[in-house]
Amino acid sequence: MNGLAVVDRFPPYRHGLSVALSEAGFQVEETVELQAWGSQAGRRIAVFSIRGPSDIRDLRLAVARNRDLAVVAIHEQDDVVSLRQCVAAGATACLPAGASMEEIVGAIHVAATGLSLIPTELLRDLVRAEDRAPEACPLSSLEIEWLRSLARGMKVTKLAESVCFSEREMYRRLHDLYVRMGVAGRTEAVVRAARWGVLDASWDDLTEFRARRVAAVATGS
């Protein structure tokens, strides 16, 4: 392990956790910049507080920049949707804000071995909820139409034109949508929405969609 850092934008919590980890025998850095710290080469572990969508975006980008970065995410919420967001964004471990120091230290040790740690009950909820639509669907009618268009093969550039958004704004809104759905990208979003029953898509439709996506990735289109 080349480094351990506590990443939190609130100094009192950041410093308090750093002191506690130092007392547990770790050499700890403090920072508010997950992406900058995590982009340095080598196996690094960040204990990162998740307080909102911007933190999820930082997590996703940081892990994409350095695949050796392990993130122990401490989320303010301990529900299955929050867990799914953390895992989809790339967290190695996901703990609720009320996790004990013993649990945080255990998660760091597990992350250092390249394995993952998720509370058992939350993992069970995650598996059970994977194909079940949430009681309050996180998709607006407009967002469902976007996913239907993507499922039919429409490119993001054309989708942006159809709703009078810039391409950059369309990608930003889709990214936020994927985060709320707890998925990593377009293909997972379409498949999950179909499983939730909001796309009116058949198995054949999903098979065709996946085939188109594989072909698109292979050709770089």
Q: What is the pLDDT of residues 36-88, one digit of tens each?
A: 999 988 889 999 999 888 899 999 899 988 988 999 999 888 777 777 778 88
pLDDT of residue 53: 85
CB atoms closer than 10 angstroms to residue 130: 12
Mean pLDDT of the chain: 83
pLDDT of residue 110: 92
| Distance of alpha carbon 57 from alpha carbon 178, whole angstroms | 11
Across the range 160-174, mean pLDDT stands at 94
Across the range 134-144, mean pLDDT stands at 76
Of the pLDDT bands very low, low, confident and very high (cuts 50, 70, 90), residue 93 is very high
**Structural domains of the chain ordered from first start:** 3-129 (3.40.50.2300), 141-219 (1.10.10)
Name the strand (E) or helix (H) holding 95: strand 93-96
Residue 17 Cα to chain centre, angstroms: 23
- φ, ψ dihedrals at 95, nearest 5°: -125, 150
Q: How is residue 62 written in tokens?
A: 């940081």
pLDDT of residue 127: 62
Across the range 11-15, mean pLDDT stands at 93
Verdict on whether the full-model pTM lies above 0.75 = no
Of the pLDDT bands very low, low, confident and very high (cuts 50, 70, 90), residue 212 is low
Bridge partner residues of 145 (DSSP): none
Across the range 126-137, mean pLDDT stands at 58
- Mode of pairing for the β-strands spanning 3-7 and 93-96: unpaired
Per-residue model confidence as pLDDT tens digits over 176-200: 898 888 787 888 888 888 878 777 6
CB atoms closer than 10 angstroms to residue 158: 12
